[in-house]
Structure 1
Amino acid sequence: MSDAPQDSLEFRKPTAETGYLLNRLVADSPPLDPNSIYCNLLQCSHFADTAVAVHDGDTLVGFVSGYVEPNKPDTLFVWQVVIAEAARGKGLAKRMLKHLLGRPSCAEVRYIETTITPDNEASWALFRSLSRDLDTELNSEVWFKRDEHFGGQHDDEHLLVIGPFQRQR
């Protein structure tokens, strides 16, 4: 899968050193849910094979974290997508997802799952576009409920399922 346009962006597998940069990028990107620095360190080390960090020079401008689900080796769960404000609107999020799908760690992946709140139009648009590019279905249902799972403190999270799709080379 191609990372598309020629630009100065470098797609990398994250390292523990990326963890703090990720924490700051998420903090600067409301309304994303922040994680602890420790959690970000784990995303960048334990889950590095299914995460991508995009740098423009020394600046982290994009990050996707995910993992292959332990009981579903054909499913990549996308945990979080974050793009620096200056890099938004240029298709970077979809490029990162396609980059991940092209990695050996995702060789068996035929489905993508993620959760999105109902009002996150950018994420809905991203995953609808990705499902079109992969020529497959996108289905969704409420998975985590505001009152039942979040004690009324967070909007519902809809589970999106994209797939099945063929691995693109």
Structure 2
Amino acid sequence: MSNQSLIYHQECSASSLQNVVLRAPELKDGMAVFRLVERCPPLDINSSYCNLLQCGHFSDTSVTADMDGELVGFISGYVVPERTNTLFIWQVAVAEQARGLGLASRMLAHILTRLASQNINYLETTITQDNQASWALFKSIATKLSADFQSSAWLDRETHFDGLHHSEMLVRIGPFRKLREM
């Protein structure tokens, strides 16, 4: 990429992000989330009912990203019941036209900022070995939070998925005390 192309890409990226509105999801967003996830392989497609529940029951720990009136990003998460200082990120989806803009990091920061008063100081997720985009995202988040990054085997392909899904590694980031600019 030439310097002029790089500068143009950066300007387009900055202006595109200015058009993005981050907010807690609402129940009415459920089907749009379902359709977004369908367009984001290799993400697991849950039932539309599951996405409706995410938008309704987990709206405080999830986020949507709208750009020019279209849903282009969604992160679902929840506070782990046994560890109320831990936010588990269930799924991160970014539409193709919004990729490469740092949107996933912004959405995670948005959730963490909203949860700042809840004493969240660990972030967890699961990632398959081959999902390089997710590995890069969560390693970057750990760096930005100045927090430890650990991963360990958690859900095994044969033991837990009957061979129908790749094994999932549990990623744990933390502790972190305060949210820095991400």
Question: Structure 2 length normalisation: TM-score?
Answer: 0.88
Residue number in structure 2 paired with 1:115: 126
Task: Pick from 137, 146, 169 the counterpart of residue 126 of structure 1.
Answer: 137
| Residue 101, structure 1, aligned to residue 92, structure 2 | no
| Residue 157, structure 1, aligned to residue 175, structure 2 | no
Tell me which protein shows more helix as a share of its residues.
Answer: 2
Residue number in structure 1 paired with 2:6: none
Residue number in structure 1 paired with 2:90: 79
SS in 1 for 2:27: coil
CA root-mean-square deviation: 1.2
Structure 1 Cα separation of the partners of residues 124 and 179 of structure 2: 18
Letter of the 1:20 counterpart: M
Structure 2 Cα separation of the partners of residues 155 and 106 of structure 1: 36
Q: Max radius of gyration: which structure?
A: 2
Letter of the 2:58 counterpart: F
Residue number in structure 1 paired with 2:54: 43
Residue number in structure 2 paired with 1:24: 35
Structure 1 residue runs of 5 or longer lacking an equivalent are none
Deviations 1:64-118 (A, max 9, x none): 0000111111000000000000100111001100110000476310000000000
Structure 2 Cα separation of the partners of residues 139 and 104 of structure 1: 22
Letter of the 1:68 counterpart: V
Deviation at 1:166, TM superposition (A): 1.1
Indicate if the aligned counterparts of 1:11 and 1:54 stay in contact, CA closer than 8 A: yes
Question: Structure 1 length normalisation: TM-score?
Answer: 0.94
Residue number in structure 2 paired with 1:89: 100
Report which structure shows greater RCO (CA 8 Å, sep ≥6).
1
Deviations 1:132-163 (A, max 9, x none): 00001100011000000000111110000000
Deviation at 1:168, TM superposition (A): 2.0
Indicate if the aligned counterparts of 1:101 and 1:107 stay in contact, CA closer than 8 A: no
Superposed structure 1 runs of 4+ greater than 2 Å apart: 104-107
Structure 1 Cα separation of the partners of residues 85 and 41 of structure 2: 31
Indicate if the aligned counterparts of 1:52 and 1:96 stay in contact, CA closer than 8 A: yes
Indicate if the aligned counterparts of 1:68 and 1:106 stay in contact, CA closer than 8 A: no
Name the CA shift for 1:39/1:106 in 2 (closer, same or farther; >3 Å).
Answer: farther
Structure 1 Cα separation of the partners of residues 137 and 117 of structure 2: 19
Indicate if the aligned counterparts of 2:142 and 2:174 stay in contact, CA closer than 8 A: yes
Q: How many residues align?
A: 165
